[in-house]
């Protein structure tokens, strides 16, 4: 049992079927993304008592495995679910670090507020991550571009079919070793413009990191794939063709004159931790950083005139991905043989360098976990 600053104690029930060192090594030799999970999971339960007072309790590390859930659990019916994504990196001296976890903890609570889920003290979020990574630290890979992807999530577990916020909730963290997202080679991706589907509506859940947004992105994603594209670009819900973001990544434009532009947070865009970090790095580089409305028209004419020199997507999983072409039924913007842009790659290297410990962390962004 570990005493923590939040006052919650994480009880440890270690797995009696943990993978052997040999089995683990086989997984770590080629982890891929999201296929394999570590031996344990962190769990904290929440419930509301008869006086209407809610509290977090039963903090624990338990063996990874299926969740016992009542078939009437609210999450299965009304989708009351939110999640986060962050990574743990092994540095050269063997220590394990993560990037801006307090930003993920704060965002989880913003998502919780929108989905009428309870607020989780940020310390509990950080402790759950720390406890899990410590018990499963041998799962943190050390190869180039590799990490342990951490997936905190919160679900409504109460068995009740009435429509109201659940009074029983569970917060969990699972961990999955992740390989180099691009197998070493970074190729610009092609993006499909979704005209038939929106990702979010004004006042909806677009700014929350919830599973429902991802469920809604799958049909447009299929449409993209059917048209030979890797990802979907969503436009704003007002039909004035302002760029919003991809299904799970924010978008940036590099202008030849040194402007770095990303769509302003409008309530329908997810505020990425990678996005806000890139904004800060851009400012430090002396770029003219702008969060504003940018339309498909400006994208089209900027590429045609050469004023826009690079476009990239960003998020925790892939860090920075150059965007090569953008297309729909009527047009193709950009070129299929585009090469990754210089500025995109330089920011990517800096950010990844900070995360992996080869570039000094002058922002206090890194937190040691093990
Ligand atoms: C998670 C997510 C992002 C990227 O956020 P990061 O914190 O940078 O990983 C962007 N858009 C959506 C819709 C997301 O869910």
Model confidence, pTM: 0.96
Residue 2 has pLDDT above 60, yes or no: no
Q: Tell me if 367 is assigned to some domain.
A: no
pLDDT at 336: 81
DSSP H or E run through 132: helix 122-135
Structure tokens at 271: 């505020």
pLDDT at 3: 54
- Ligand 1, atom 2: nearest CA belongs to which residue? 248
Give the model's confidence band at 5: pLDDT under 50 very low, under 70 low, under 90 confident, else very high.
low
Asked if residue 304 and residue 159 are part of one domain, the reply reads: no
Could you tell me what percent of the chain has a pLDDT over 70? Answer: 98
Q: Where are the alpha helices (DSSP H) in 10-55?
A: 21-29
Instruction: Please give the number of the atom of ligand 1 that sits closest to the Cα of 206.
Output: 13
Task: Say whether 164 sits in a helix, a strand or coil.
Answer: coil
- Ligand 1, atom 14: nearest CA belongs to which residue? 248
Q: Tell me if 105 is assigned to some domain.
A: yes
Q: For residue range 7-20, what is the model confidence (pLDDT) as tens digits?
A: 899 999 999 999 99
- Ligand 1, atom 5: nearest CA belongs to which residue? 272
Q: For residue range 110-161, what is the model confidence (pLDDT) as tens digits?
A: 999 999 999 999 999 999 999 999 999 999 999 988 999 999 999 999 999 9
Asked if residue 23 and residue 123 are part of one domain, the reply reads: yes
Q: Tell me if 369 is assigned to some domain.
A: no
Q: Tell me if 147 is assigned to some domain.
A: yes
Q: Tell me if 113 is assigned to some domain.
A: yes
Residue 185 has pLDDT above 80, yes or no: no
Asked if residue 204 and residue 102 are part of one domain, the reply reads: no
- Ligand 1, atom 15: nearest CA belongs to which residue? 248
Q: Whose CA is closest to 169, among 213, 203, 124, 137? A: 124
For residues 315 and 194, give the distance between their C-alpha atoms in angstroms, rounded to a whole number.
20
Asked if residue 278 and residue 150 are part of one domain, the reply reads: no
Indicate the residue among 178, 207, 237 that finishes a domain: 178
Asked if residue 165 and residue 96 are part of one domain, the reply reads: yes
Asked if residue 67 and residue 168 are part of one domain, the reply reads: yes
Q: Is 163 exposed, middle or buried (0-12, 13-18, 19+ CB in 10 A)?
A: exposed
Domain region containing 322 = 189-356
pLDDT at 273: 98
The total number of structural domains in the chain stands at 2
Indicate the residue among 178, 202, 233 that finishes a domain: 178
Q: Tell me if 88 is assigned to some domain.
A: yes
Asked if residue 221 and residue 164 are part of one domain, the reply reads: no
For residues 343 and 105, give the distance between their C-alpha atoms in angstroms, rounded to a whole number.
30
Structure tokens at 305: 């005139």
Q: Tell me if 184 is assigned to some domain.
A: no
pLDDT at 240: 79
Q: For residue range 251-306, what is the model confidence (pLDDT) as tens digits?
A: 999 999 999 999 999 899 999 999 999 999 999 999 999 999 999 999 999 999 99
Asked if residue 194 and residue 124 are part of one domain, the reply reads: no
Asked if residue 215 and residue 247 are part of one domain, the reply reads: yes
Residue 37 has pLDDT above 70, yes or no: yes
- Name every protein residue with a CB atom under 6 angstroms from any ligand 1 atom: 85, 209, 245, 248-250, 270, 272-275, 315-316
Strand partners, 151: 174
Asked if residue 274 and residue 247 are part of one domain, the reply reads: yes
Asked if residue 126 and residue 26 are part of one domain, the reply reads: yes
**CA separation (Å) from 107 to 6, 115, 209?**
19, 12, 8
- Report the CATH number at residue 43: 3.30.470.10
Indicate the residue among 110, 143, 178 that finishes a domain: 178
Residue 234 has pLDDT above 80, yes or no: yes
- Report the CATH number at residue 240: 3.20.10.10
Average pLDDT of every residue of the chain:
95
Asked if residue 193 and residue 336 are part of one domain, the reply reads: yes
In a mutational test of the pocket of ligand 1, which residue from 85, 312, 313 has the highest number of ligand atoms less than 8 Å from its CB?
Answer: 85
């Amino acid at each position: 049992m570990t005493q923590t600053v939040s006052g919650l104690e994480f009880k440890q029930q270690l797995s009696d079927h943990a993978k052997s060192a040999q089995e683990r090594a086989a997984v770590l030799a080629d982890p891929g993304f999201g296929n394999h999970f570590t031996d344990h999971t962190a769990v904290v339960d929440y419930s509301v008592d008869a006086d209407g007072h809610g509290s977090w309790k039963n903090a624990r590390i338990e063996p990874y495995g299926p969740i016992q859930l009542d078939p009437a659990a609210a999450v299965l019916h009304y989708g009351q679910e939110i999640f986060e994504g962050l990574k743990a990196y092994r540095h050269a001296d063997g220590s394990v670090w993560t990037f801006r976890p307090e930003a993920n903890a704060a965002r989880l609570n913003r998502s919780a507020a929108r989905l009428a889920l309870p607020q989780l003290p940020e310390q509990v979020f950080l402790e759950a991550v720390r406890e899990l990574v410590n018990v499963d630290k041998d799962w943190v890979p050390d190869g180039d571009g590799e990490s342990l992807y951490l997936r905190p999530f919160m679900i409504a577990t109460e068995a009740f079919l009435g429509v109201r916020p659940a009074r029983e909730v569970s917060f969990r963290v699972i961990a999955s070793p992740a390989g180099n997202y691009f197998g070493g080679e970074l190729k610009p991706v092609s993006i499909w413009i979704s005209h038939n589907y929106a990702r979010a509506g004004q006042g909806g859940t677009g700014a929350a990191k919830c599973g429902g947004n991802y469920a809604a992105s799958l049909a447009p994603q299929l449409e993209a794939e059917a048209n030979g594209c890797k990802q979907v670009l969503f436009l704003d819900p007002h039909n004035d063709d302002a760029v919003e973001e991809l299904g799970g990544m924010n978008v940036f434009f590099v202008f030849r004159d040194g402007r770095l532009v990303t769509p302003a947070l409008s309530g329908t865009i997810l505020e990425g931790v990678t996005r806000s970090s890139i904004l800060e790095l851009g400012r430090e580089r002396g770029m003219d950083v702008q969060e504003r409305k940018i339309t498909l028209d400006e994208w089209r004419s900027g590429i045609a005139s050469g004023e826009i020199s690079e476009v990239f997507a960003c998020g925790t999983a892939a860090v920075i991905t150059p965007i090569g072409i953008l297309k729909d039924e009527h047009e193709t913007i950009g070129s299929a043989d585009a090469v990754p842009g210089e500025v995109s790659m330089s920011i990517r290297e800096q950010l990844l360098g900070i995360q992996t410990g080869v570039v000094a962390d002058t922002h206090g962004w890194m937190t040691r976990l093990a």
